[in-house]
A and B are shown apart, each in its own frame.
Chain A
Amino acid sequence: MMENKSNGNGQKEWQPKIVAFFCNWCTYTAADSAGVSRIKYAPNIRIIRVMCSGRVDPQFILDSFAKGADGVLIGGCHPGDCHYQEGNYKCLRRFRLLQRVINSFGIEPERLRLEWISASEADRVRVVVNEMVNQVKALGPLALPQKYEELKKEIEHHPVTSEIKEE
């Protein structure tokens, strides 16, 4: 179940949660440098560090959505600048495929974003995160865990589906 978003302050607008996978050498460093420069951006992002955007397993993304993320952001080095030569290209391939896959699952492709942000582009972190947060806010909650919950109940109380299941 998703955490109840209501808080001690009473009514607060719904805030999307965005899981980000940032590569160690470029985008994670850029995010650090944004901090050093005291650049301010939306607090909705939860950064998970990986060594390379090539490490981002499609399962990480699907799992993030399935477990309640409203958006997933991947940050890697610019083409040609990968610390591991070409991991970012591998990431790009998977990203293209994944966009189609999530679309067929009924997840808007805009909820998944891939950005090349080099270590020096601290301000780009701000721009991308803010853009993404606004975009996902406009789309509204994805809330897959709750949807699965409802789906499960439906299956349990639907004899036809259980017959099909038994076949």
Chain B
Amino acid sequence: MTNQGNNKDIRIGFYICHCGTNIASTVDVQKVVEFASKLPKVVVSRDYKYMCSDPGQELIQKDIKELGLNRIVVAACSPFLHEKTFRNASSQAGLNQFYFQMVNTREQNSWVHLDPYASTEKAIDLVRAAIYRVVYHKPLEQKRVPIHPDVLVVGGGIAGIHAALTLANAGKKVYLVEREPSIGGHMAMFDKTFPTLDCAACILTPKMTAVKNHPNITLWTYSEVIGVDGYVGNFKVKVRRKPRYINEDLCIGCLDCIEACVYKEGRFYDEFNLGLSKRKPVYIPFPQAVPLLVVIDPETCIQFKSGKCKQTCVEVCEPNAIDFTQKERIEEIEVGTIIIATGFQTFDPKKIPYYGYGTYPNVYTALEVERLINASGPTQGQIVLRDGTRPKSIAIIHCVGSRDKNTNQWCSRVCCLYSIKLAHLLKERTEAEIYNFYIDIRTPGKMMDEFFIRMKEEGIKFIRGRVADIYPDTSNGCCGKLVVKAEDTLVGEIIKVPVDMVVLSIGLEPRADAQEIRRMFNITCSTEGFYIERHPKLAPVNTFTDGIFLAGCCQGPKDIPDTVAQAGAAAAEALTLIDTGYIEIEPNTAFVLEDDCSGCKSCIPLCPYTAISFLEDKKKAFINEVLCKGCGTCVAACPSGSIVQNLFEDEEIFSEIVGVLNYTYHEEEV
């Protein structure tokens, strides 16, 4: 006899889903049904083509009502996909939703095994385990957690800006935290955008200004999130606000201090122009910066380095905004939901040495060229090489750091289109011959392929072949040109094209600190470092951590329209939580059986949430249900077995072990 618990009135209904042929083609569904029907306490055992469909759910509900079922087991896909569906179906038929157990028969069985016999055996074992387990299920109440209405948006690129504005326009209070001195992100660095060729600044800056002026948005630039505590609805966030050495309330953005700096010319690497121009120690990142506040860089400012500066900037500042004694501040805020929009970084082409970036001055990255083309860029929009000459021939190399086993395997999705855009802009400004070296042209999306065809008709040349080498042209004592060597795979010949300028279409990568950020927010990322969404199709902006949502390129490479769409979706998800006012969470918390607790205190230091305290009067441990997150570590550690975790009780797991191993007790052992 198997150990089935002592409740005699248990009536189990078992259902297995064919999932079309997804399950049924590998698992012998009939055999499982027949097997389950013979297990003790199983009243009905059925199969159905699609259990998750309405008729499938109605089948369960009808049986609950007509056959008086009080436990339901469904063998179908992963519980991550449809556990909620079947719990809801059960509860609509009047059964407590936690009298339900799911058997993962698709993701962890039929999709990963080829042998139908072994697959069916495995299904039978797991079904047995679930049927043994469900006997011990308890009727539980879902916990409701209130949602704090404020939202934190991390990252002030177009994704963060759009999400913040959407929420603020809906009347929610938003904290927008940006690491750089200005919001705008990568989009602010672009000149024109594909496929419409409208200028990035023209469409972005109004939104940036709207952020600054919105009464519902608290904008903290030059600031970083350094700590996140709590859980959905009640996050406590620490933000470090780096000192600008400018009093933000007094600075009026007149920029007189920059003019007055003892450095008459810019001398230092200008981050915004990627070093193509120089800035002073006191600077604004770019003319349209929001907020329009100067920053003093202590690394380069003489006052910070030697303390012996004439401080001409201070003299000229009428509002007395300069404050060399400013210290960093830590702000602590409470929010209910968080949107992560931390963006991407571009691939460093120095990792492909044969492209010569950093060695040959006329090899540029695409982002540098964006700055060169831009009217407010380092050359005021003039396309000139570092020696001041105008290029007459330009090669654009696609897939640099994309679709390459040696660097990054993924397609960065935007490079084909921005390369075509840059080709157009460069041709327009220089009338140079433009050669695009590509592997495949990928131009999906609305109006994108039409854009490509139009550009091709403009006379831009496209050569299908990955570039193998770039080297200086030394033939006939020539001229500083670079030779681009590739196989034209459509002709089947090695070609060498001498050009004046090379543009590397660098791919998109996760931020270097993506892993640290992920740990801080307790979300997951793929091995390459893009954050993982809860479901690639059906929960594309949710993360595995409730209340934290994703927007933009931190989730994967995407263009501006998709980023904005995703940011809107993330804002909508946050709004849904805020306006519902609460979230129901799994009641998988632990509690202490006071009578059994020996008061040994072993559990207390194990809890990472300090949810366990010691009741001095009773000499017993006590678990605060509000603080408990349901990991079960204390349960596993309790020497007297007096801590119980809801949904994962010892009996439930032991019965699963018995079930999967098909262990049978002997009479004398019972």
* CB-CB under 8 A for A19 and B107, given A84-B633, A94-B636: no
Q: Which of B119, B633, B654, B663 contacts A60 (CB 8 A)?
A: B654
Chain B minimum-CB-distance residue to A81: B519
In the complex, A19 Cα to B660 Cα: how many Å?
8
- Expressed in whole angstroms, the Cα–Cα distance for A86 and B631 within the complex equals 10
CB of B389 within 8 Å of the partner chain = no
Contact with A along B626-669 (1 / 0, CB 8 A): 00011111011100000001001010011011101111100000
Q: Do B656 and A48 touch (CB < 8 A)?
A: yes
Does the CB pair A43–B122 fall under 8 Å?
A: yes
Task: Spot the interface stretch: A1-9, A108-116, A159-167.
Answer: A1-9
Which residues of chain B have C-beta atoms less than 8 A from A31's C-beta? 107-108, 112
The contact of B632 among A15, A29, A35, A54, by CB within 8 Å, is: A54
The yes or no answer to B79 lying at the interface (CB within 8 A) is yes
CA distance A97 to B117 in the complex (A): 37
0/1 per residue, B361-402, Cβ < 8 Å to A?
Answer: 000000000000000000000000000000000000000000
Contact, CB under 8 Å: A32 / B104: yes
Please determine whether B608 and A50 come into contact, CB atoms closer than 8 angstroms: no
Decide if B115 is an interface residue (CB 8 Å cutoff): yes
Complex Cα–Cα for A38 and B108 (A)? 10
**A83, closest chain B residue (CB):** B522
Residues in chain B near residue A56, CB distance under 8 A = 636
A60–B637 CA distance with the chains assembled, in angstroms: 12
Is A137 an interface position by the 8 A CB rule?
no
Find the B residue at minimum CB distance from A31: B108
CB proximity to B under 8 Å, residues A113-131: 118-121, 126
B532 touches A120 (CB 8 A): yes
Q: Which residues of B contact A90 (CB under 8 A)?
A: 606, 633, 636-637
- Interface class of chain A by DSSP: loop
Are A19 and B657 interface neighbours, CB within 8 A? yes
Query: Is A120 a contact of B79 with CB atoms below 8 Å?
Result: no
Q: How many A-B residue pairs lie within 8 Å, measured between CB atoms?
A: 154
B607 nearest CB across to chain A (Å): 9
Would you call A41 and B112 a contact (CB within 8 A)?
yes
In the complex, the answer to whether A118 meets B108 with C-beta atoms within 8 Å is no
The reply to whether A120 and B524 contact each other, CB–CB distance below 8 Å, is: yes
* Residue pair B118, A43 in contact (C-beta under 8 Å): yes
102-116 of chain B: CB within 8 A of chain A: 104, 106-109, 111-115
Task: List B contacts of A80 (CB < 8 A).
Answer: 519
In the assembled complex, the Cα of A98 lies from the Cα of B329 at a distance in Å of 48
Name the one of A1, A25, A47, A63 contacting B104, with C-beta atoms under 8 angstroms: A47
- Chain B minimum-CB-distance residue to A9: B117
* A60-B654, A121-B527 known; A32 vs B108 contact (CB < 8 Å): yes
Judge whether B592 is part of the interface by a CB distance below 8 angstroms: no
Query: What are 14 A-to-B residue pairs whose CB atoms are below 8 Å?
Result: A9-B117, A19-B660, A34-B107, A34-B112, A38-B112, A46-B129, A47-B104, A48-B653, A57-B635, A57-B650, A85-B608, A90-B633, A118-B527, A120-B526
Residues of A within 8 A of B (CB): 1-3, 7, 9, 15, 17, 19, 25-26, 29, 31-36, 38-41, 43-44, 46-52, 54-60, 63-64, 67-69, 80-81, 83-87, 90, 94, 118-121, 126, 145
Q: A2-B663, A34-B107, A43-B121 are in contact. List 6 more A-B contacts (CB 8 A).
A: A46-B129, A54-B606, A58-B636, A83-B544, A87-B632, A119-B532
A-B pairs with the 3 shortest C-beta distances? A35-B107, A55-B632, A54-B633
